[in-house]
Amino acid sequence: MTLRISNLGKHYGKNGEVPVFENVTLGVEPGEFVAIVGESGVGKSTLLNCMAGLDSWDQGSVTHDGIDIGALDGEACALWRRRRVGFVFQAFHVLPHLDVAQNVSLPLMLLGQHRDEDRVARMLDAVGLPGMGARLPQTLSGGQLQRVAIARALVHRPSLLLADEPTGNLDPTTAAKVMELLIGQTREHGASLVLVTHSESAAARADRLLHLTANGIRA
């Protein structure tokens, strides 16, 4: 997956009166790991949402492997996203009424694929939760919940993984282990990783570290 973002500009507000960022240009090569840092409120989450076609923008373009994401209609964009993108969020977003295996299976279900017990079991092994598929989220720790979220984000073999402060809710020791897992698993799957983080040690592991500001993104 090659991601190209050219001169992206984003405002909020009915008349575009709340500027977020402008002139954001970056590329992510297949299998590359890019970390993004920046002050709170500068638009890091907004930028990730634009990369996934979950949010709109006012100027510029986003392309994946030459596909112009802004030109897709809602349905085509959703289908593309389900196939090609995985997400990990700070707040885990594991669904409480589904067990662990059902949570991990969700991306496959959304793609209309049969539930693949073997693949789900292999993902749970890979994230250090062997045999825990029948557990309910309320019985898991924060670190375990984020491992479930990592398994879910990769189970459908996306080409791009977007992670938005994925260890922000974890204690430092757990955060380091979960970050190691996230980076290692993404590499193993050959996916590109765009990671928003406040963790200097995680950012230092990236192939490239970029700083987002209101008027651009730079090394």
Ligand X SMILES: Nc1ncnc2c1ncn2[C@@H]1O[C@H](COP(=O)(O)OP(=O)(O)O)[C@@H](O)[C@H]1O
Which residues of the shown chain bind ligand X in the complex (CB under 6 A)? Answer: 12, 18, 20, 38, 40-46
The CA-based angle 103-83-69, given to 5 degrees, is 125
| Shortest distance in whole angstroms from residue 115 CB to ligand X | 34
Q: Are strands 208-213 and 33-37 parallel, antiparallel or unpaired?
A: parallel
DSSP calls for 41-70:
TSSHHHHHHHHTTSS--SEEEEEETTEEGG
Binding residues for Mg ion, total number by CB under 5 A = 2
Q: Which does 152 bind (CB under 5 to 8 A by kind): Mg ion, ligand X, none?
A: none
| Shortest distance in whole angstroms from residue 202 CB to ligand X | 16
Contact in structure between 5 and 60 (CB atoms under 8 Å): yes
Residue 87 or 129 with smaller CB distance to ligand X: 87
Q: Which does 43 bind (CB under 5 to 8 A by kind): ligand X, Mg ion, none?
A: ligand X
How many Å apart are CA 183 and CA 191, to the nearest integer? 10
CA dihedral 138, 143, 146, 151 (to 10 degrees): -100
Choice from 45, 169, 174, 213 touching Mg ion (CB under 5 A)? 45
| Shortest distance in whole angstroms from residue 53 CB to ligand X | 15
| Structure tokens that stand for 42 in this block | 């500068």
Q: Which does 46 bind (CB under 5 to 8 A by kind): Mg ion, ligand X, none?
A: ligand X
Residue 100 or 195 with smaller CB distance to ligand X: 195
| Shortest distance in whole angstroms from residue 44 CB to ligand X | 3
